[in-house]
Chain A
Amino acid sequence: MASIRLFVFLTLALVAGAIHAQQPPGTLAKIGRDGYITLGVREGSVPFSYLDDKGRFIGYSVDLCMKIVDEVKKRLNKPVEVRMTPVSASNRIPLMANGTIDLECGSTTNNADRAGQVAFSPTIFVIANRLLTRKTANIRSLADMKGKTLVATAGTTTLKQMTALNRERNLGMRIVIGKDHPESFLMLETNRAAAEANDDILLAAQVAGSKQPADYVIGSEALSLEPYGIMLRRGDPAFKEVVDAAIRAAFASPDFPRLYAKWFTSPIPPKGINLNVPMSPQLQKVVANPTDSPDPAAYR
């Protein structure tokens, strides 16, 4: 019994300690003090943030984050070391909240729900949720999925949206969960699911990288419109201003079309696949008028 009492006491002490932990200083001050900035990166979000064949994290979001790092160096007027920490869809928000990462450079949707825990840079990409299916399955829209198995990735807005749509439209779909994007695609590839729901750009990357790209088709039905942003801590206006300025400058730069083309319309490492996704009208609008609005209507 004594050991149980001790255990309960220690647990309570731990929780109380966590609640009363010191508020951290602003991110900019923290980076200045420590001399390094930690970027949260993803291992499989092609072409935003992923590992190349030499084990380096590369991608469109990583490039944009490096522009923010340059701006941080300029503001602090001293060198800043860049550290990269792999994160997943599930742990990116807690790792941001507890100060492990300072920026998240992946493929993260900016939505109103998340605003309670984190903040976002101006929108860097606009996607639609769509279904990926085998051509032979003849699934044209979500309505054709009635009673079938759908896979979505843990921790994504897509999973939440599909759970809600399943109920609203009374589809009776069995929704299975992949722990990351590659596993979700594996579920589709091994016939464990009739369709994968995901962001269209990620689906395009999965198909382009698969063994039989010709077997798959991405649905034309857009189930949502979502803005991607670079995630930062909430309630840090000084750091948010630095991030915003860096992204605005990147968009305004004459180099931006080249940066876009590097990741979306040219062969990318490691396999030299070309995603062939030209800039959407929604993204063109954002680049001309940067905004960090989480409201999908702002991008229509």
Chain B
Amino acid sequence: MDYNWNWAIFGELSPDGVNTYWQMLLSGLGWTLATSLAGWAMALLLGTLVGVARTLPQRWLRLVAGGYVELFRNVPLLVQMFLWFFVVPELLPRAAGDWLKALPQAPFVTAVVCLGFFTSARVAVQVAAGIDALAGGQAQAALALGLTRGQAYRHVLLPLAVRIVLPPLTSEFLNIIKNSSVALTIGLVELTASARAIQEFSFQVFEAYTAATVLYVLVNLVVTAGMHAVERRLALPGTLGKY
């Protein structure tokens, strides 16, 4: 391959005249983290609610939750990003649409909402699977003790289910960090977009993407380590799980 390597490029000033390329990369990393963490918080909350709804005795609730999952799980993320950014504001009343488009961080807000809904569908399936994996007797025993259904979920079913689905939830957490790069298609300058901008301004493609790759791997290693610590912390001797 005929290519001029230049690792010193990161110290150079970018065309905006203020930041070096290295600072551009770090700012991108910041947006990646902010987007993924906010999206993850939303996904956990919505995903747990929808996942619980999928296991309730009320048939209509299960149907609604199932529809939610199919809707957000089956449309490609790239398409959802486009729909939320370009189509939804046009469907809203004129004033609301204009307000949305004029938000100072419209791409960020859109990316968080889109990733939050997309990932929540996947979290919901995992939470529901975790609850279903518990022996049916757990719920009945909790109810027989005089707990209401809400208390049974809060004190018995969810705490046990969460321990079972922690490993797939870790994968989902890693996924949302990587998926946040799709937000570059709506103009959010996150890590991948920063690497691309460096490439476009300096033409040092491989250096820029190498740096981005290393940063993604580092972040994901930290998340993996953190989630392992959580797993160990929550482990109950004698139940499912490694610890």
A interface vs B, CB < 8 Å? 4, 7, 15, 18-19, 21, 23-24, 89-90, 93-94, 97-99, 113-114, 116-117, 154-156, 159-160, 163-164, 166-168, 176-179, 183, 186-187, 190-192, 233-235
Check B203 against A192 for contact (C-beta < 8 Å): no
Known: A164-B15, A167-B17, A178-B187. A18 touches B1 (CB 8 A): yes
Q: Chain A nearest CB: distance from B90 CB in Å?
A: 7
Chain A residues with CB under 8 Å of B5's CB are 19
Chain B residues with CB under 8 Å of A176's CB are 107, 187
Please classify how large the interface on chain B is, using the bins under 10, 10 to 19, 20 to 34, 35 or more. 20 to 34
Chain B residues with CB under 8 Å of A166's CB are 16
Q: List 29 A-B contacts (CB under 8 A).
A: A4-B221, A18-B1, A24-B2, A90-B199, A90-B200, A93-B203, A93-B205, A97-B1, A97-B2, A97-B3, A97-B205, A98-B3, A114-B203, A117-B4, A155-B196, A155-B199, A155-B200, A156-B200, A163-B201, A167-B15, A167-B16, A176-B107, A176-B187, A177-B187, A178-B187, A186-B86, A191-B98, A191-B101, A233-B2
**Most B Cβ at <10 Å: residue of A7, A97, A159:** A97
Query: Chain B interface mostly helix, strand, loop or mixed?
Result: helix
Closest to A235 in B: B2
Check A23 against B98 for contact (C-beta < 8 Å): no
Q: Chain A nearest CB: distance from B118 CB in Å?
A: 19
Check A90 against B210 for contact (C-beta < 8 Å): no
**In the docked arrangement, what's the CA distance between A291 and B82, Å?**
42
Q: Chain B nearest CB: distance from A59 CB in Å?
A: 23
**In the docked arrangement, what's the CA distance between A90 and B17, Å?**
22
Chain A residues with CB under 8 Å of B199's CB are 90, 93-94, 155
**In the docked arrangement, what's the CA distance between A117 and B201, Å?**
13
Closest to A89 in B: B200
Check B2 against A167 for contact (C-beta < 8 Å): no
**Most A Cβ at <10 Å: residue of B90, B187, B197:** B187
Chain A residues with CB under 8 Å of B210's CB are 15
Chain B residues with CB under 8 Å of A117's CB are 3-4, 203
In the assembled complex, B89 has its CB within 8 A of some CB on chain A: yes
Closest to A97 in B: B3
Closest 3 CB pairs of A and B: A167-B17, A94-B205, A176-B187
Check B86 against A190 for contact (C-beta < 8 Å): yes
Chain B residues with CB under 8 Å of A164's CB are 15-17
**Most B Cβ at <10 Å: residue of A15, A98, A117, A192:** A192
Return the contact of B1 from the options A99, A178, A187 (Cβ within 8 A): A99
**In the docked arrangement, what's the CA distance between A154 and B3, Å?**
22
Known: A154-B200, A167-B16, A191-B98. A234 touches B86 (CB 8 A): no
Chain A residues with CB under 8 Å of B221's CB are 4
Check A167 against B200 for contact (C-beta < 8 Å): no
Chain A residues with CB under 8 Å of B16's CB are 163-164, 166-167
Closest to B184 in A: A179
Q: Chain A nearest CB: distance from B86 CB in Å?
A: 6
Closest to A180 in B: B185
Check A90 against B15 for contact (C-beta < 8 Å): no
Closest to B3 in A: A97
In the assembled complex, B193 has its CB within 8 A of some CB on chain A: yes
Chain B residues with CB under 8 Å of A98's CB are 1, 3
Q: Chain B nearest CB: distance from A161 CB in Å?
A: 8
**In the docked arrangement, what's the CA distance between A207 and B73, Å?**
37
Chain B 198-224, CB-CB to A under 8 Å as 1, else 0, gives 011101011000100000010001000
Check B200 against A192 for contact (C-beta < 8 Å): no
**In the docked arrangement, what's the CA distance between A117 and B14, Å?**
18
Chain A residues with CB under 8 Å of B75's CB are none
In the assembled complex, B189 has its CB within 8 A of some CB on chain A: yes
Chain B 90-133, CB-CB to A under 8 Å as 1, else 0, gives 10000000100100001100000000000000000000000000
Q: Chain A nearest CB: distance from B154 CB in Å?
A: 37
**In the docked arrangement, what's the CA distance between A137 and B10, Å?**
39
Known: A167-B18, A177-B189. A190 touches B203 (CB 8 A): no
Q: Chain B nearest CB: distance from A170 CB in Å?
A: 11
Closest to B5 in A: A19
**In the docked arrangement, what's the CA distance between A94 and B199, Å?**
9
Chain A residues with CB under 8 Å of B86's CB are 186, 190
Closest to A177 in B: B187
Chain A residues with CB under 8 Å of B197's CB are 154
Q: Chain B nearest CB: distance from A236 CB in Å?
A: 9
Chain A residues with CB under 8 Å of B196's CB are 90, 154-155
Sample of 16 more A-B contacts, CB < 8 Å, known A116-B203, A163-B15: A18-B1, A18-B206, A93-B199, A93-B205, A94-B199, A94-B206, A113-B203, A116-B4, A117-B3, A154-B193, A154-B196, A154-B200, A159-B200, A177-B193, A178-B187, A192-B106
